[in-house]
Chain A
């Protein structure tokens, strides 16, 4: 039985991306900024920045302000 988080991590190709998505969907529709997000999910800010950029490019995340 595969650990579900690992499955998603592998599917999406990034465990940080999965954490960001989990955080975003669980707190939807609340908005967030990079530094508090990286603190909350306990991941380095540079990685979080990159992943958010990818998700924004794809259109799943948009810039509020």
Chain B
């Protein structure tokens, strides 16, 4: 049932250059939704943190197997986030994961990296090189290779005899 409302009827004259009766509205910034953060005052914050951040040897074996499945891997080095040196050990590695391989399946690799980052919880510094390039750089004392091998790291696959 329509109520008899008093309505103001206004006729708006369209502007000269306006052909359509549609106003353009400025796009609002996308709303990111509620933001959450860890509460450092939580009763067991430190204990939980230690528990969650501990990386175990079993994880390493699984990682090694998953990397081997990507192709003919000659060398796989883990550093940074994959090393379990305790809470107080902080350093900035040139790579968290470095792989030397020829003919790696790019699709498998990118899906592997994405899933790894999802498990680990943050972006992984990743490097990939073909065998020839790596050997060239290694023999030339290339800075990246040198820093990687001189810093804390672990060779989880080593078919180059390093």
Closest Cβ–Cβ distance, residue B121 to chain A (whole Å) = 4
Q: Is the CB of B33 within 8 A of A34?
A: yes
Task: Kindly identify which residue among B36, B49, B81, B119 contacts A61, using a CB–CB cutoff of 8 Å.
Answer: B36
Closest Cβ–Cβ distance, residue B47 to chain A (whole Å) = 12
Please name the residue on chain A nearest to B50 by beta carbon.
A25
Q: Which size class do B's interface residues fall under?
A: 20 to 34
B107 interface contact, C-beta 8 A = no
B120 interface contact, C-beta 8 A = yes
Q: Which size class do A's interface residues fall under?
A: 35 or more
Q: Is the CB of B36 within 8 A of A29?
A: no
Q: Is the CB of A63 within 8 A of B34?
A: yes
Question: Which residues in window 26-51 of B have CB below 8 A to A?
Answer: 32-40, 42-43, 45, 48-49, 51
Q: Is the CB of A32 within 8 A of B36?
A: yes
B56 interface contact, C-beta 8 A = yes
- Residues of chain A having any CB pair with chain B under 8 Å: 1-5, 8, 18-19, 21-36, 40-43, 52, 56, 59-65
Q: Which 7 A-B pairs have the closest CB atoms?
A: A4-B56, A26-B121, A23-B121, A22-B121, A64-B35, A31-B37, A42-B118
Further contacts, 4 of them, CB under 8 A, given A29-B37, A33-B35, A33-B36: A19-B118, A22-B121, A27-B122, A61-B36
7 pairs from A and B in contact (CB 8 Å cutoff): A3-B62, A24-B38, A30-B37, A33-B36, A59-B39, A62-B37, A63-B36
